[in-house]
Structure 1
Amino acid sequence: MRIIICGAGQVGYSIAAHLSREENDVTVIDMNKALIARINDELDVNGVVGFASNPNVLNAAGARDADMIIAVTRSDEVNMVACQIGHSLFGIPKKIARIREQAYLEPAWSNLFSRAHMPIDVIISPEVVIANDIYQRLAVPGTTSVITLGDGLAHMIGTLCKEDCPVVNTPLGELRTLFPDLSFQVVAILRNGRPVILDENDQLEVGDEVFFIVDTKHLRRTMAVFGHEEAEARSIVIAGGGNIGVGLLTLLKERAPGVRIKVIEQNEERARYLSEQFEGMTILHGSSLNRDILEESSIEHVETFVAVTNDDESNILGSLLSKQYGCKRAITLVSNNAYLPLIGTLGIDSLISPRSIIVATIMQHVRRGRIRGLHNLYDGFAEVIEAEVSEASSIVNTAVEDINLPREIIVGALIRGEKIIIPDPDFIVRPGDTIVILASHTQIHNVEKMFSVQVDLF
């Protein structure tokens, strides 16, 4: 596939890295010569220096033969115009744009991105996507990642193994024997930020981030297996009243009206705006690093502190201060990847990486074909694929244990009708089953071959 990516920042770079690894013909456009030089040096892609919405630049990038354009520059307007030109002048079939300004997305202007006006196929609003991610983590306390599978029949959960985790030092192969009434399976482990190739004799260690697929009916009890029995928060302090904070606040008001919420906002004008928009809500004007403000928020009685300001240091320090006061849990937004290795040692419960969330969201829309769902895990170390098994598949009427799989591909679950099944080795795969596979990015092509599933681009 020929793909043009507009923007060579963190998100554009990450998308280019994922797609180029899978033998796509990728061209990246950016005004910044240094960013293009870096991307040319480090990735197997073509770099073009120029303005992404300039027709001549797009033409030089191969727009006439492109199958897709992904516009993720810093400018909403450049992203929109690049997609419009890609459609009008070059007939690019698939157009994806990142748009931050919420005014463009208001219901009153819902026709803006229609086929007749500005035909962008997929709009990614970072603030909306991130707010939804945080809400899911609030809804399932103790998680670092929540992915819905099979229209809600199952979930892929990420969580940290802390010192009180009951199954630390327990071989993975014994977990289902120890908990026979729970339908779950460990499919991935991150240890010191690196994936572990799983074996049934492997044991969980303190500090591991474990990923498991679980029947939704057993989700709460399975979280307890990994040492997380936290109840849903009934009191929350949100530090940061920007678009992410407002998005989260709106979701909570709609879906969890009984939750007590306070917002800390440093900008006086913004704080006044929030007070007008959310009448009756407690809005505190000040910094989350100010102890007087934290005490005014009654932080010692708050269950969850959510830090979503535009400043990483404020988010990290505010989270640590809140926990020092006795707040039970901290969810922290951190944009600078340099801080990520430190987070686990600081006692922060859940990290929000905007880049990882946005890249994963875009990749869901990039891949289509005969699959029901595809989900990208942290920085693409693995992908979760939901694929329907066809009559022609080589694995039809085959026991799971007889499917010749590399270690980097794991059958996590099957969905048959309205039932989620964590398969035993002798379980027989039938036509029409939806199979949930976790595969490293290097194994995507093997997934295509083994399961007769073409993981196509759109």
Structure 2
Amino acid sequence: MRVIICGAGQVGYGIAERLSVEKNDVSVIDTSPELIHSVRDALDVRGFVGHGSHPDVLEAAGAENADMIIAATLHDEVNIVACEVAHALFNVPMKIARIRAQSYLQPHYQDLFSREHLPIDVIISPEMEVGEMVLRRIALPGATDVVRFANDKIAMVAIECLEECPVVHTGLSQLSELFPDLPSTVVGIVRDGKLFIPRSADQLAPGDLAYVVTTKEQVRRTLGLFGHDEPEATRIVVAGGGNIGLYVAKTIEQRQNRIKMKIVEASRERAVAIADQLRRTVVLNGSALDQKRLQEADIQDADLMVALTNNDQVNILSSVMAKRLGCKANLVLINNPAYQDLTKSLGLDAYVNPGAVTISRVLQHVRRGRIRAVHTIERGAAEIIEAEALETSPLVGVELRELDLPEGMRIGAIYRDGKVIMPSGGLKVRPKDRVVIFALADAVKHVEQMFRVSLEFF
């Protein structure tokens, strides 16, 4: 696939890195010569210095033959115009734009991004995507990752197995016998830093990170069986009142009356601005690294510290300080992948990587076939994919036990006619079923082939 990426910042670089690893033909455009030099040096991509919205720059980057443009600069208007130019002059089939300003995203303006007005196929708002991820983590304490599929009916949760976890040292096949009414499937395990797909005879061990597919209704029970029955946080302190922090606070005010929130924001001007937009949330002006300011926010009595500033070091240190001061748990925003390996040793309970969230959203549209959703995990080591089965799919009409599936993939659940069905040997996939699959990186292409809109399997 030929892809043009406008913007070589954290979002653009992350997308370019992932797509280039998968042998796509990638061109990156940015106004910064330094960023383009670093992209050229580090990745197998072509780099162009210039404005992504300028026709001559897009032409030089190969827009005439491009399959997709991803406009991910820091400026919404540049992203919009880049997609407009790519459509009008070069007829690029797929146009994805990063939009940050919430004004563009209001539901009553949804016709703005249509073929008749602004021909953009997909709008990505990293702040909203990350905000929703943070909200899911807050709602499910104990889960280190949470993703929903199939109209929110299916959930994938990543759960750390604790020493007192009731299901450790038990064969996975025995779990279904011990809990026959629990619709949960362990599809992946991270042990000693290595990710693998378990067999039915394998056992979970303390310290494992288990990726479990279950129904929305059974997520809390599943967490409980893995030793996590932490109560939902009702007193939350947020570090950082930027776009993500404001989105989280506003949404909690709308959805949860019993949660009390306080925000610590370093900029006085920003603190005043967000205080005007919030009704029940207390906003304090000061640094999240100021111990006195955290104590003013009653951090010692808080259930959860959520660090959402745009500085990784501030997020990590303020979260560590919060727990030392008595806060029960923390959730940290971390952009730099190099810091993610330190989370456990520093006492960080969970983290969100904005780049991974955005890349997952883009991959949904890069993947060929009837792919409805994609979530990348463990820095691209695997993906959880929701795909729609077609008449031509080799999955259809064959009992699962008879399928010759590759080693690197496992079916987690099937969504059919509004109901969730857990996989079993005698189950047959039907056309239009939505299948949630856990696939290691090497098996992703195979998953794509299985859901391609073609007759190549006949």
Tell me if both proteins adopt one fold, taking TM over 0.5 as the criterion.
yes
Structure 2 matches for 1:196-345, cutoff 5 A? 196-345=196-345
CA RMSD of aligned residues (A): 2.5
Q: Which moved more, 1:223-232 or 1:43-52?
A: 43-52
Q: Cα distance 1:389–1:117, how it changes in 2: closer, same or farther (>3 A)? A: closer
Q: Which moved more, 1:153-162 or 1:339-348?
A: 153-162
SS of 1:27's partner is strand
Match of 1:170 in 2: 170
Match of 2:382 in 1: 382
Q: Cα distance 1:378–1:9, how it changes in 2: closer, same or farther (>3 A)? A: farther
User: What is the alpha-carbon distance in structure 1 between the residues aligned to residue 446 and residue 2 of structure 2?
Assistant: 21
| 1:137 positional shift | 1.1
Match of 2:52 in 1: 52
- Please list the CA deviations of residues 379-436 of structure 1 after superposition, one character each: whole Å capped at 9, or x if unmatched: 3322222233333332333221211111101111122323212222233333443322
Structure 2 matches for 1:50-449, cutoff 5 A? 50-105=50-105, 112-367=112-367, 369-449=369-449
User: What is the alpha-carbon distance in structure 2 between the residues aligned to residue 402 and residue 157 of structure 1?
Assistant: 28
| 1:109 positional shift | 6.1
- Amino-acid identity (%): 46
| 1:437 positional shift | 1.4
The residue type equivalent to 2:346 in the other structure is L
8 Å CA contact 1:113–1:119 kept in 2: the answer is yes
What is the total number of aligned residue pairs between the two structures?
454
User: What is the alpha-carbon distance in structure 2 between the residues aligned to residue 258 and residue 431 of structure 1?
Assistant: 44
Q: Cα distance 1:31–1:230, how it changes in 2: closer, same or farther (>3 A)? A: same
- Please list the CA deviations of residues 266-307 of structure 1 after superposition, one character each: whole Å capped at 9, or x if unmatched: 222222223322245322222222222222222222211111
Name structure 1 gaps, 5 residues minimum: none
8 Å CA contact 2:370–2:452 kept in 1: the answer is no
User: What is the alpha-carbon distance in structure 1 between the residues aligned to residue 313 and residue 163 of structure 2?
Assistant: 27
| 1:152 positional shift | 2.3
8 Å CA contact 2:370–2:389 kept in 1: the answer is no
The residue type equivalent to 2:137 in the other structure is R
- Please list the CA deviations of residues 224-250 of structure 1 after superposition, one character each: whole Å capped at 9, or x if unmatched: 111111222222111111111100011
Q: Which moved more, 1:9-18 or 1:403-412?
A: 9-18
| 1:21 positional shift | 4.3
TM-score by structure 1 length? 0.90
| 1:336 positional shift | 1.8
| 1:37 positional shift | 4.7
TM-score by structure 2 length? 0.90
Q: Cα distance 1:134–1:29, how it changes in 2: closer, same or farther (>3 A)? A: same
Q: Cα distance 1:124–1:264, how it changes in 2: closer, same or farther (>3 A)? A: same
Q: Which moved more, 1:388-397 or 1:331-340?
A: 388-397
| 1:208 positional shift | 3.0
User: What is the alpha-carbon distance in structure 1 between the residues aligned to residue 48 and residue 290 of structure 2?
Assistant: 46
Q: Cα distance 1:25–1:311, how it changes in 2: closer, same or farther (>3 A)? A: closer
**1:19 correspondence with 2:1:** no
Q: Which moved more, 1:16-25 or 1:307-316?
A: 16-25
| 1:145 positional shift | 1.8
| 1:174 positional shift | 3.1
Q: Which moved more, 1:41-50 or 1:215-224?
A: 41-50
The residue type equivalent to 2:341 in the other structure is P
Q: Cα distance 1:280–1:449, how it changes in 2: closer, same or farther (>3 A)? A: closer
The residue type equivalent to 1:358 in the other structure is T
The residue type equivalent to 1:189 in the other structure is I
Q: Cα distance 1:107–1:198, how it changes in 2: closer, same or farther (>3 A)? A: closer
User: What is the alpha-carbon distance in structure 1 between the residues aligned to residue 52 and residue 97 of structure 2?
Assistant: 12
